[in-house]
Structure 1
């Protein structure tokens, strides 16, 4: 029973670590976007663990992963178009 609890706690701890990096290390735009991507991948990992017992979970997980990949590509292209890595150019 303890192993099953740890099985679900590891993705949640990784989400909390990603949130900590997102909140406290927000000086650079690329660091912020990478921490958001890490949070999304941790949520994907947690969802895949929780939905592994159902029959049609693969379609929803593939949709979620596809949206996550498209969003990360847009964010990287945003950095390439807009220029610098810091938040100074926004304010």
Structure 2
């Protein structure tokens, strides 16, 4: 039973680490997008562990993974657009009044 609790603790720690990077290390857009993807994969890992222990079907996991992939593609398109218009992805170079 202790090993099962340890298996649930690893994804939760990785979610917290991803949130920490997202909140405190947001200098570049690419860094925030990578931390969002890390959070999504950690949540996917946690949900897959939870659903396998409970014995439920994993159709919801496929839907969640599809939405995570769409979010990643949208973030990459936003990154390319920002780099083309502003020249870099550093948040300090953006001006809200200019956009």
Counterpart position of 1:89: 94
Instruction: Report the aligned-residue RMSD.
Output: 1.2
Aligned residues: 90
Counterpart position of 1:78: 78
| Runs of at least 5 residues in structure 1 that lack an aligned partner in the other structure | none
| Runs of at least 5 residues in structure 2 that lack an aligned partner in the other structure | none
After TM superposition, the score normalised by the length of structure 1 is: 0.92
1:10-57 Cα shifts (integer Å, max 9, x gaps): 00000000011111100001101110110011000000000013342x
Q: Distance in 1 between matches of 2:95 and 2:41?
A: 27
Counterpart position of 2:40: 40
Q: Distance in 2 between matches of 1:54 and 1:60?
A: 13
